[in-house]
Chain A
Protein backbone atom coordinates (compact mmCIF):
# COMPACT_ATOMS: atom_id res chain seq x y z
CA UNK A 1 0.00 0.00 0.00
CA UNK A 2 1.37 3.40 -0.95
CA UNK A 3 1.63 6.11 1.67
CA UNK A 4 -0.89 8.16 -0.31
CA UNK A 5 -3.45 5.33 -0.01
CA UNK A 6 -2.77 4.96 3.70
CA UNK A 7 -3.22 8.70 4.09
CA UNK A 8 -6.45 8.60 2.08
CA UNK A 9 -7.81 5.71 4.19
CA UNK A 10 -6.91 7.59 7.36
CA UNK A 11 -8.64 10.69 6.00
CA UNK A 12 -11.74 8.71 5.11
CA UNK A 13 -11.79 7.11 8.54
CA UNK A 14 -11.70 10.60 10.04
CA UNK A 15 -14.35 11.74 7.58
CA UNK A 16 -16.69 8.93 8.70
CA UNK A 17 -15.91 9.63 12.35
CA UNK A 18 -16.77 13.25 11.76
CA UNK A 19 -20.04 12.36 10.00
CA UNK A 20 -20.95 10.15 12.95
CA UNK A 21 -20.26 12.94 15.41
CA UNK A 22 -22.88 15.21 13.84
CA UNK A 23 -26.55 15.33 14.89
CA UNK A 24 -27.67 15.12 11.24
CA UNK A 25 -26.17 11.65 10.93
CA UNK A 26 -28.15 10.41 13.94
CA UNK A 27 -31.30 12.08 12.66
CA UNK A 28 -31.01 9.99 9.49
CA UNK A 29 -30.13 6.95 11.60
CA UNK A 30 -33.50 7.37 13.35
CA UNK A 31 -35.39 8.02 10.13
CA UNK A 32 -33.87 4.87 8.63
CA UNK A 33 -34.97 2.81 11.66
CA UNK A 34 -38.51 3.93 11.01
CA UNK A 35 -38.59 3.63 7.21
CA UNK A 36 -36.89 0.22 7.29
CA UNK A 37 -39.35 -1.00 9.93
CA UNK A 38 -42.26 0.25 7.83
CA UNK A 39 -40.88 -1.48 4.74
CA UNK A 40 -40.66 -4.75 6.69
CA UNK A 41 -44.15 -4.31 8.12
CA UNK A 42 -45.65 -3.58 4.70
CA UNK A 43 -44.16 -6.82 3.37
CA UNK A 44 -45.66 -8.95 6.13
CA UNK A 45 -48.97 -10.63 5.27
CA UNK A 46 -51.33 -9.13 4.42
CA UNK A 47 -48.92 -7.22 2.22
CA UNK A 48 -49.75 -3.55 1.88
CA UNK A 49 -48.50 -1.52 -1.05
CA UNK A 50 -47.54 2.14 -0.85
CA UNK A 51 -50.71 2.97 -2.76
CA UNK A 52 -52.88 1.01 -0.30
CA UNK A 53 -51.12 2.65 2.64
CA UNK A 54 -51.87 6.04 1.08
CA UNK A 55 -55.55 5.06 0.77
CA UNK A 56 -55.63 4.02 4.44
CA UNK A 57 -54.13 7.38 5.39
CA UNK A 58 -56.33 9.33 2.99
CA UNK A 59 -53.36 10.98 1.27
CA UNK A 60 -51.79 10.89 -2.19
CA UNK A 61 -49.41 7.96 -2.91
CA UNK A 62 -46.65 10.51 -3.55
CA UNK A 63 -47.00 11.76 0.03
CA UNK A 64 -46.38 8.27 1.41
CA UNK A 65 -43.56 7.68 -1.01
CA UNK A 66 -41.92 10.95 0.03
CA UNK A 67 -42.31 10.17 3.73
CA UNK A 68 -40.78 6.70 3.38
CA UNK A 69 -37.98 7.75 1.03
CA UNK A 70 -35.74 8.91 3.85
CA UNK A 71 -35.47 12.36 2.33
CA UNK A 72 -37.93 13.96 4.69
CA UNK A 73 -37.63 14.99 8.33
CA UNK A 74 -40.60 13.10 9.79
CA UNK A 75 -42.48 14.39 12.80
CA UNK A 76 -43.51 12.01 15.57
CA UNK A 77 -47.11 12.69 14.59
CA UNK A 78 -46.45 11.60 10.99
CA UNK A 79 -44.65 8.45 12.12
CA UNK A 80 -47.46 7.53 14.51
CA UNK A 81 -50.07 8.12 11.78
CA UNK A 82 -48.24 6.03 9.18
CA UNK A 83 -47.62 3.16 11.61
CA UNK A 84 -51.14 3.47 12.99
CA UNK A 85 -52.62 2.98 9.53
CA UNK A 86 -51.20 -0.55 9.68
CA UNK A 87 -52.44 -1.05 13.24
CA UNK A 88 -48.89 -0.63 14.49
CA UNK A 89 -47.20 1.77 16.90
CA UNK A 90 -43.72 3.30 17.07
CA UNK A 91 -41.71 1.95 20.00
CA UNK A 92 -38.56 3.79 20.98
CA UNK A 93 -35.45 2.53 22.66
CA UNK A 94 -32.56 4.83 23.55
CA UNK A 95 -29.08 3.37 24.02
CA UNK A 96 -25.45 4.40 23.75
CA UNK A 97 -24.23 4.97 20.18
CA UNK A 98 -22.80 1.80 18.70
CA UNK A 99 -24.84 -0.50 20.93
CA UNK A 100 -26.23 -3.59 19.21
CA UNK A 101 -29.96 -3.32 19.94
CA UNK A 102 -32.31 -6.23 19.25
CA UNK A 103 -36.05 -5.84 19.61
CA UNK A 104 -38.17 -8.79 20.65
CA UNK A 105 -41.90 -8.83 19.95
CA UNK A 106 -43.26 -11.06 22.68
CA UNK A 107 -46.85 -12.15 22.08
CA UNK A 108 -46.97 -13.81 25.55
CA UNK A 109 -47.00 -10.35 27.11
CA UNK A 110 -49.18 -8.69 24.51
CA UNK A 111 -52.45 -7.07 25.50
CA UNK A 112 -55.47 -6.12 23.44
CA UNK A 113 -55.47 -2.59 22.08
CA UNK A 114 -58.65 -0.86 21.01
CA UNK A 115 -58.01 0.94 17.78
CA UNK A 116 -58.82 4.64 17.50
CA UNK A 117 -61.66 3.94 15.09
CA UNK A 118 -63.37 1.63 17.59
CA UNK A 119 -62.89 4.07 20.48
CA UNK A 120 -64.69 6.76 18.52
CA UNK A 121 -67.74 4.58 17.96
CA UNK A 122 -67.96 3.18 21.52
CA UNK A 123 -69.32 4.78 24.66
CA UNK A 124 -66.57 6.56 26.59
CA UNK A 125 -68.36 6.00 29.90
CA UNK A 126 -68.48 2.21 29.68
CA UNK A 127 -65.15 1.68 31.48
CA UNK A 128 -64.76 1.42 35.26
CA UNK A 129 -61.86 3.17 37.01
CA UNK A 130 -60.96 2.17 40.57
CA UNK A 131 -58.91 4.64 42.62
CA UNK A 132 -56.66 3.00 45.20
CA UNK A 133 -54.78 5.14 47.77
CA UNK A 134 -50.99 5.06 47.38
CA UNK A 135 -49.25 3.19 50.28
CA UNK A 136 -47.42 5.45 52.72
CA UNK A 137 -44.01 4.16 51.57
CA UNK A 138 -44.93 4.96 47.98
CA UNK A 139 -44.14 1.39 46.84
CA UNK A 140 -46.88 -0.51 45.06
CA UNK A 141 -46.41 -4.23 45.56
CA UNK A 142 -47.84 -6.85 43.24
CA UNK A 143 -50.14 -8.00 46.05
CA UNK A 144 -51.61 -4.52 46.43
CA UNK A 145 -52.13 -4.17 42.69
CA UNK A 146 -53.95 -7.51 42.50
CA UNK A 147 -56.12 -6.85 45.53
Chain B
Protein backbone atom coordinates (compact mmCIF):
# COMPACT_ATOMS: atom_id res chain seq x y z
CA UNK B 1 0.00 0.00 0.00
CA UNK B 2 1.17 3.49 -0.83
CA UNK B 3 0.71 6.21 1.77
CA UNK B 4 1.26 9.94 1.55
CA UNK B 5 2.62 11.60 4.68
CA UNK B 6 0.83 14.92 5.14
CA UNK B 7 2.72 15.79 8.34
CA UNK B 8 4.92 14.04 10.88
CA UNK B 9 5.64 15.87 14.08
CA UNK B 10 4.39 14.62 17.46
CA UNK B 11 1.84 12.60 15.50
CA UNK B 12 1.84 11.51 11.88
CA UNK B 13 -1.00 12.08 9.47
CA UNK B 14 -1.05 9.73 6.50
CA UNK B 15 -3.45 9.33 3.60
CA UNK B 16 -3.85 6.12 1.61
CA UNK B 17 -3.68 5.47 -2.10
CA UNK B 18 -6.32 2.97 -3.17
CA UNK B 19 -5.62 -0.22 -5.12
CA UNK B 20 -6.10 1.65 -8.39
CA UNK B 21 -3.29 3.97 -7.33
CA UNK B 22 -5.32 7.11 -6.75
CA UNK B 23 -5.76 9.03 -3.54
CA UNK B 24 -9.44 9.65 -2.87
CA UNK B 25 -8.75 12.03 0.05
CA UNK B 26 -6.57 14.25 -2.11
CA UNK B 27 -9.09 14.28 -4.94
CA UNK B 28 -11.98 15.07 -2.62
CA UNK B 29 -10.06 17.83 -0.83
CA UNK B 30 -9.39 19.46 -4.19
CA UNK B 31 -13.07 19.33 -5.15
CA UNK B 32 -14.18 20.59 -1.72
CA UNK B 33 -11.85 23.54 -2.04
CA UNK B 34 -13.68 24.59 -5.19
CA UNK B 35 -17.18 23.82 -3.88
CA UNK B 36 -16.93 24.82 -0.19
CA UNK B 37 -13.63 26.52 0.49
CA UNK B 38 -14.16 26.95 4.25
CA UNK B 39 -14.55 23.19 4.66
CA UNK B 40 -11.23 22.62 2.89
CA UNK B 41 -9.54 25.17 5.14
CA UNK B 42 -10.97 23.62 8.30
CA UNK B 43 -9.86 20.15 7.27
CA UNK B 44 -6.47 21.42 6.14
CA UNK B 45 -5.88 22.95 9.57
CA UNK B 46 -6.87 19.69 11.27
CA UNK B 47 -4.66 17.54 9.03
CA UNK B 48 -1.64 19.80 8.90
CA UNK B 49 -1.67 21.81 12.15
CA UNK B 50 -3.85 20.51 14.94
CA UNK B 51 -3.43 16.74 14.78
CA UNK B 52 0.34 16.63 14.08
CA UNK B 53 1.02 19.06 16.95
CA UNK B 54 -1.64 18.29 19.53
CA UNK B 55 -3.11 14.97 18.54
CA UNK B 56 -6.75 14.25 17.93
CA UNK B 57 -9.13 17.00 19.01
CA UNK B 58 -10.92 16.23 22.26
CA UNK B 59 -14.04 17.78 20.81
CA UNK B 60 -16.97 15.82 19.37
CA UNK B 61 -17.56 18.65 16.92
CA UNK B 62 -14.18 17.94 15.30
CA UNK B 63 -13.61 14.25 15.86
CA UNK B 64 -15.75 11.20 16.58
CA UNK B 65 -16.21 7.48 16.22
CA UNK B 66 -17.63 6.30 12.92
CA UNK B 67 -17.64 2.53 13.30
CA UNK B 68 -16.92 0.61 16.52
CA UNK B 69 -13.39 1.15 17.79
CA UNK B 70 -12.06 0.76 14.27
CA UNK B 71 -12.99 3.74 12.14
CA UNK B 72 -13.14 7.35 13.30
CA UNK B 73 -13.93 10.58 11.50
CA UNK B 74 -12.44 14.06 11.36
CA UNK B 75 -15.15 16.66 11.04
CA UNK B 76 -15.57 20.03 9.40
CA UNK B 77 -18.82 21.94 9.25
CA UNK B 78 -20.16 24.80 7.21
CA UNK B 79 -23.44 26.64 7.44
CA UNK B 80 -24.56 26.84 3.81
CA UNK B 81 -27.52 28.97 4.93
CA UNK B 82 -28.20 30.20 8.49
CA UNK B 83 -30.05 26.96 9.20
CA UNK B 84 -28.63 24.49 6.66
CA UNK B 85 -25.45 22.63 7.56
CA UNK B 86 -23.03 20.70 5.41
CA UNK B 87 -20.46 18.39 6.93
CA UNK B 88 -17.19 17.30 5.40
CA UNK B 89 -15.66 14.17 6.91
CA UNK B 90 -12.49 12.18 6.59
CA UNK B 91 -12.64 8.58 7.76
CA UNK B 92 -9.51 7.41 9.54
CA UNK B 93 -8.00 4.85 11.91
CA UNK B 94 -5.01 4.71 14.24
CA UNK B 95 -1.77 2.84 14.12
CA UNK B 96 0.25 3.87 17.16
CA UNK B 97 1.08 7.57 16.79
CA UNK B 98 -0.11 7.63 13.19
CA UNK B 99 -3.55 8.66 12.00
CA UNK B 100 -4.27 7.00 8.68
CA UNK B 101 -6.93 8.71 6.55
CA UNK B 102 -8.78 6.48 4.13
CA UNK B 103 -11.57 8.43 2.44
CA UNK B 104 -13.32 11.78 2.49
CA UNK B 105 -16.96 12.57 1.92
CA UNK B 106 -19.73 15.12 2.41
CA UNK B 107 -22.22 14.38 5.13
CA UNK B 108 -25.58 16.07 5.15
CA UNK B 109 -27.73 13.83 7.33
CA UNK B 110 -26.44 10.27 7.59
CA UNK B 111 -23.04 8.86 6.76
CA UNK B 112 -23.19 7.17 3.34
CA UNK B 113 -22.82 3.43 4.18
CA UNK B 114 -20.44 2.82 1.27
CA UNK B 115 -17.98 5.25 2.90
CA UNK B 116 -17.83 3.14 6.07
CA UNK B 117 -17.25 -0.05 4.05
CA UNK B 118 -14.56 1.68 2.04
CA UNK B 119 -12.77 2.81 5.22
CA UNK B 120 -12.96 -0.71 6.67
CA UNK B 121 -11.56 -2.23 3.46
CA UNK B 122 -8.64 0.22 3.39
CA UNK B 123 -7.93 -0.40 7.07
CA UNK B 124 -7.79 -4.16 6.49
CA UNK B 125 -5.55 -3.65 3.46
CA UNK B 126 -3.21 -1.40 5.49
CA UNK B 127 -2.68 -3.90 8.31
CA UNK B 128 -2.32 -6.78 5.84
CA UNK B 129 0.32 -4.90 3.84
CA UNK B 130 2.03 -3.77 7.03
CA UNK B 131 2.38 -7.41 8.13
CA UNK B 132 3.78 -8.21 4.68
CA UNK B 133 6.12 -5.18 4.94
CA UNK B 134 4.57 -3.74 1.80
CA UNK B 135 3.95 -0.20 3.00
CA UNK B 136 5.48 2.49 0.84
CA UNK B 137 5.55 5.94 2.42
CA UNK B 138 5.74 9.08 0.32
CA UNK B 139 6.84 11.71 2.80
CA UNK B 140 6.71 15.44 2.58
CA UNK B 141 9.10 17.77 4.30
CA UNK B 142 8.70 21.46 3.57
CA UNK B 143 11.61 22.40 1.36
CA UNK B 144 12.60 18.73 1.09
CA UNK B 145 11.79 15.94 -1.31
CA UNK B 146 9.47 12.99 -1.28
CA UNK B 147 10.99 9.58 -1.68
CA UNK B 148 9.76 6.33 -3.17
Residues on A facing B (Cβ under 8 Å): 1-2, 4-6, 8-13, 15-17, 19-20, 22, 24-25, 27-29, 32, 35-36, 39-40, 43, 65-66, 68-72, 98, 100
Task: Enumerate chain B residues within 8 angstroms of A16, measured Cβ to Cβ.
Answer: 6, 44, 48
CB contacts under 8 Å to A, within B97-147, are 136, 138, 140, 142, 146
Considering only CB atoms, which chain A residue lies closest to B59 in the complex? Answer: A39
A100 to B54, CA, bound (A): 10
Knowing A19-B40, A19-B41, A32-B42 are in contact, say whether A43-B58 is a contact too (CB < 8 A).
yes
Residues on B facing A (Cβ under 8 Å): 2, 4, 6, 17, 21-23, 26, 29-30, 33, 37-38, 40-42, 44-46, 48-50, 53-54, 57-59, 61-62, 76-79, 85, 136, 138, 140, 142, 146, 148
Partner of B62, one of A12, A15, A65, A70: A70
Main secondary structure, interface of A, reads helix
Considering only CB atoms, which chain B residue lies closest to A68 in the complex? Answer: B61
Shortest distance between the CB of A95 and any CB in chain B (Å): 13
Partner of B44, one of A9, A19, A43: A19
Query: Are A5 and B59 closer than 8 Å at their CB atoms?
Result: no
Query: Are A70 and B30 closer than 8 Å at their CB atoms?
Result: no
Knowing A12-B4, A66-B79 are in contact, say whether A4-B61 is a contact too (CB < 8 A).
no
